[in-house]
Amino acid sequence: MARPLPRRRPLFAGGRRARRVKHQMLPVGLPAPLGSAPSTVDGSTLRVLGSGDVAFQKIIERVRNAEKSVEIRAFLWRDDDAGNQMGEAVLAAAERGARVTIHKDRIAAVYEYTGGNKQSFFHKRVDPIRGFQAWFLGAVYRAPGSFKQKPNALSQKLQAHPNVNVQHLRKRFDHSKVYIIDDRYMILGSMGVGDNHRHDWFDVMVEVEGQQHIDRLRERMAGHDEFDPSRGVDFLVHSREAHRKNTCPMMSHRLALIDSAQKSLTVEMAYMNDRRFTAALARAVNRGIAVKLVTADQADVLANINRYTCDALMRLTGAPDNLTIVLLPRMVHSKVVVIDHRFSDVGSANFTSLSHGVYDEINLFADNESFATAIEAEIEQHCANGFIADSRLTYRKLYSGLERAIIAYQSRRGG
């Protein structure tokens, strides 16, 4: 039986809390509510696949059974059991005649060399720059072991197959995780291809059915139309090719969605360092919205910035009863916001400056109560062994500074 989450006491009382909020949070105008009419979206086209091996096996099944086409946008793809299962599923589809396109970002090789078994499925040649970055990250986060790459016959076979087009030589800065099968099914979320995602981490993956949604995503990624929440299902995107340098309309849309909350916000987030999102959550708390933030007690990277962000949110608001911060003993890799138990924002984008202006990102927006409720139920399952932060959080300032420097360097290189 899961132990109940402990109750939290307010950090500040009375006038002291009011003074802190007054001096550190400026009042802003709130956008109009997203909508008052019931959603007309067919809930049967939206599905929550969940996390871990349950979600992974559903993705494998879709890929393996593809009849005409498979398109994969992968940020991280490790050469481990999960990576090879995905490779075998792709090969099975290609052998039956399905045309496969894999967009694999070379920039993510650094993280493949640093974490897990340190083996990349596609990036077997370690160039000096990424090798140094991997060594540095491994030293900072104490990831022992060699990242000397071992050959993989399956990877080589895929790259040589006439039905498989693997685009993996460019630094695409593409952080999205998307699977499009037969132009009918689209699976997206936060899960990379690796054993840590499959067995150890919390992710949220969802599926959208219907070619019209796939066509809409391609339209949005090409920059041909703006985000339109009245559609019921749309996509929040940042595209380096379609959007001007140092701009990210995705960020303003996500902030506006948070500011539009009337009752509740449920947030499960892997990484947080963008103060604009911290401020948006603080505004919601200060106007009485029930805000629940779920993250890892110790993230794999950016752990100290995450803890600093949670601590700042408690400090800025005074940690009233309508703010609940749940810390989990396992890595939380999800990127989810649920608004008023009805509107969902789920995909690959974190609350970081890298996700808003540097990386290509794809999030699904949906106006559907049953879908939103299913996502919140999935997050609630993740919280079974978590605990509520009942005091100010500590963090290591030196490591926090190093993490900020890493993000600043990556943002400079990418932006």
Q: What percent of the chain has pLDDT over 70?
A: 82
Q: DSSP letters of 113-174?
A: HHSTTS-BSS--S--HHHHHHHHHHHHHTT--S--PPPP-HHHHHHHH-TTEEEE-SS---B
Asked whether residue 184 falls in the same domain as residue 328, the answer is: no
Most distant CA pair in the chain, distance: 70
Asked whether residue 56 falls in the same domain as residue 34, the answer is: no
Q: Which domain holds residue 189?
A: 52-200
pTM equals 0.87
- In this predicted structure, what is the pLDDT of residue 406? 65
In tens, the pLDDT along 294-349 reads 999 988 877 788 899 999 999 999 999 999 999 999 999 999 999 999 999 999 99
- Say whether 269 sits in a helix, a strand or coil: strand
User: Given a cut of 90, is residue 217 above it in pLDDT?
Assistant: yes
Contact between 192 and 77 under an 8 Å Cβ cutoff? The reply is yes
- In this predicted structure, what is the pLDDT of residue 4? 45
Asked whether residue 259 falls in the same domain as residue 405, the answer is: yes
User: Given a cut of 80, is residue 210 above it in pLDDT?
Assistant: yes
- Helices 81-95 and 153-160 pack at an angle, to 10 degrees, of 30
Torsion angle of C-alpha atoms 340, 178, 213, 374, degrees rounded to 10: -30
**What separation, in Å, do the N-terminal and C-terminal C-alpha atoms of the chain show?**
48
- DSSP run (H or E) holding 328: strand 323-328
CA atoms within 13 A on the CB side of 287: 19
Mean pLDDT score, 45-59 = 97
- Helices 14-24 and 303-317 pack at an angle, to 10 degrees, of 120
The residue among 267, 277, 281 whose CA lies nearest residue 383 is 267
Asked whether residue 362 falls in the same domain as residue 384, the answer is: yes
* Highest mean pLDDT (candidates 4-8, 214-218, 223-227): 214-218
Average pLDDT, the chain: 86
Mean pLDDT score, 393-413 = 67
User: Given a cut of 50, is residue 164 above it in pLDDT?
Assistant: yes
Asked whether residue 70 falls in the same domain as residue 26, the answer is: no
User: Given a cut of 80, is residue 5 above it in pLDDT?
Assistant: no
Asked whether residue 286 falls in the same domain as residue 406, the answer is: yes
Asked whether residue 27 falls in the same domain as residue 129, the answer is: no
Cα separation of 369 and 376, whole Å?
A: 10
Asked whether residue 339 falls in the same domain as residue 386, the answer is: yes
Contact between 110 and 130 under an 8 Å Cβ cutoff? The reply is yes
**Which DSSP category does 5 fall into?**
P
Residue 107 maps to a domain: yes
The residue among 399, 250, 259, 242 whose CA lies nearest residue 343 is 259
Mean pLDDT score, 270-297 = 96
In tens, the pLDDT along 60-74 reads 999 999 999 999 999
Q: Which residues contact 148 (CB under 8 A, 6 or more apart)?
A: 126
pLDDT confidence bin for 244, thresholds 50/70/90:
confident
- In this predicted structure, what is the pLDDT of residue 155? 96
Asked whether residue 251 falls in the same domain as residue 349, the answer is: yes
For the chain, what is the radius of gyration of the CA atoms? 21
Asked whether residue 361 falls in the same domain as residue 265, the answer is: yes
Residue 219 maps to a domain: no
In tens, the pLDDT along 372-381 reads 999 999 999 9
Cα separation of 100 and 66, whole Å?
A: 10
**Which DSSP category does 50 fall into?**
E
Mean pLDDT score, 247-261 = 93
Lowest mean pLDDT among 44-48, 122-126, 298-302, 398-402: 398-402
User: Given a cut of 50, is residue 25 above it in pLDDT?
Assistant: no
Q: Which CA distances in Å does 135 have to 65, 141, 300, 383, 396? A: 39, 10, 15, 33, 21
In tens, the pLDDT along 73-108 reads 999 999 999 999 999 999 999 999 999 999 998 888
Cα separation of 40 and 51, whole Å?
A: 27
- Assigned token pair, 330: 């396992």
In tens, the pLDDT along 347-374 reads 999 999 888 888 899 999 999 999 999 9
Asked whether residue 276 falls in the same domain as residue 401, the answer is: yes
Residue 85 maps to a domain: yes
pLDDT confidence bin for 255, thresholds 50/70/90:
very high
pLDDT confidence bin for 44, thresholds 50/70/90:
confident
258: exposed, middle or buried (Cβ count in 10 Å: 0-12, 13-18, 19+): buried
- In this predicted structure, what is the pLDDT of residue 192? 95
Asked whether residue 153 falls in the same domain as residue 249, the answer is: no
- Helices 249-259 and 275-286 pack at an angle, to 10 degrees, of 10
Cα separation of 7 and 387, whole Å?
A: 9
pLDDT confidence bin for 399, thresholds 50/70/90:
low
CATH number at residue 271: 3.30.870.10
Number of structural domains the chain divides into: 2
Contact between 111 and 271 under an 8 Å Cβ cutoff? The reply is no
Cα separation of 265 and 281, whole Å?
A: 9
User: Given a cut of 50, is residue 28 above it in pLDDT?
Assistant: no
**Which DSSP category does 196 fall into?**
I
| pLDDT, greater one: 131 or 25 | 131
User: Given a cut of 90, is residue 186 above it in pLDDT?
Assistant: yes
Residue 11 maps to a domain: no
Provide the residue type at 69 as one letter. Answer: S
Mean pLDDT score, 173-197 = 96
pLDDT confidence bin for 170, thresholds 50/70/90:
confident
- In this predicted structure, what is the pLDDT of residue 71? 98
